[in-house]
Amino acid sequence: MPDTPKNPQRPASPGESLPGQEYFINSTDETGLGAVDAVADEFAPRSQWGEAWHYLRRRPMFWIAAALIVLAVLMAAVPGLFTSVDPRHCTLENSLGLPEAGHPFGFDRQGCDIYSRTIHGARASVIVGILTTLAVVIIGTTLGSLAGYFGGILDTILSRLTDIFFAIPLVLAAIVFMQMFKDNRSVIMVVIVLAVFGWTQIARITRGAVMSVKNEEYVTAATALGAGKFRVLTSHILPNAAVPIIVYATVALGTFIVAEATLSFLGIGLPSTVVSWGGDISAAQASLRTRPMVLFYPAIALAMTVLSFILMGDVVRDALDPKARKR
């Protein structure tokens, strides 16, 4: 008869586990299903503008451009913060004089303080740039949004009108019209002439942006809820089509500053009684060989101002259009 094991393993009773076969079951009320599926909501999701600001404030280029723009605006708005010298006070005894105490840039051919004229010259250029940009945005956005939203015959008429003005070079048209009104030259006249021929590009941009947005679901929902066409256009379409408009307006501001300086350089922009960078650059041509720094200071002020707006436009485009960052 075979030997039986000394310690035979007895079968486990119901509800009992043998050594090495223990198992544990977590209590059902220890970790609830709601706690497992919960999403942390300490921070609300950022809006498009909040996300853009989060991107901008981490970019050194944004702060450099912003500092230059603030400096140009301060020179235009409050030139007394930078100099107390009258830019129109000229003494021929100081003609082409070197820098001295209180006159860090020296004197031009007429004996005027170059530093003071560089500071005060920002006012005319910046005012023309800002006012022209506002006028262009209003005209171009209005015409472009109407053409893109309503379409049909209105789109055809406005598009052909845009093509006609688009075919006319901005500076050339401004030269012709400023010559026609040379007896009434002023900042407002320059703004009107530049705005009349400078709205075409932003109208095209607005039209394309509105056409890409008007078929979105939220526009259809607003229309289904009874919103009128004007309300849909102003409250739902334009706010969501504003990104390319803002980017172009930022860059265009620098372009219009250059256009004003070009007209003043040619002697058909602002009158000689108005201190402007373009006028000073034109007057400094005669001293370019003997004293090139007379031209350098207003030219560098103009270049840095325009560059700051171009840089701001680029960084704002990257912030508002994430696809542009990957290109």
pLDDT score at 5: 52
Find where tokens 């008429």 sit.
157
Give Cβ neighbours of residue 325 (< 8 Å, ≥ 6 apart): 318
What is the predicted pLDDT for the residue at 161? 92
- DSSP alpha helix (H) spans, 167-228: 170-180, 187-198, 200-213, 217-224
pLDDT higher than 70, residue 193: yes
Give the closest residue to 65 by CA, choosing from 283, 327, 247, 310.
Answer: 310
Q: How far apart are CA 119 and CA 248, in angstroms?
A: 27
Mean pLDDT of the chain: 84
Map tokens 């119901």 to a residue: 14
Angstrom distance (rounded) from CA 32 to CA 29: 6
Contact 276, 260 (CB under 8 A): yes
Q: What is the pLDDT of residue 151?
A: 86
On whether the CB atoms of residues 204 and 162 are closer than 8 A, the answer is yes
Instruction: State mean pLDDT over 96-113.
Output: 88
Taken as a whole, the chain contains a residue count of 327
Identify whether the C-beta of residue 310 lies closer than 8 Å to the C-beta of residue 254. yes
Whether 327 shows a pLDDT value over 60: the answer reads no
Does residue 39 carry a pLDDT above 70?
no
Does the structure show a pLDDT above 60 at 17? no
Judge whether residue 13 has pLDDT over 80.
Answer: no
> Which of 1.10.3720.10, 3.40.640.10, 1.10.10.10, 2.60.120.1270 is the CATH number of 48-87+109-325?
1.10.3720.10
pLDDT at 267 (0 to 100) = 86
Q: Tell whether the model's pLDDT for residue 28 goes beyond 80.
A: no
* Per-residue pLDDT band at 303 (split at 50, 70, 90): very high
d(CA 278, CA 174): 15
Q: Is the pLDDT of residue 32 over 80?
A: no
How far is residue 106 CA from its own chain's centroid? 35
pLDDT category, 325, cuts 50, 70, 90? low
pTM over 0.75: yes
List, for residues 220-264, the tens digit of each pLDDT value: 888 888 888 888 888 888 888 888 899 899 989 999 999 999 999
Average pLDDT rounded to a whole number, residues 63-75: 94
pLDDT band at 288 (very low <50, low <70, confident <90, very high): confident
How does pLDDT run across 110-151, given as a tens digit for each residue? 889 999 999 999 999 999 999 999 999 999 999 999 999 998
Average pLDDT over residues 7-21: 56
Amino acid of residue 272: S
Asked if residue 6 has pLDDT above 70, the reply is no
- The pLDDT value given to residue 258: 92
pLDDT over 80 (residue 48): no
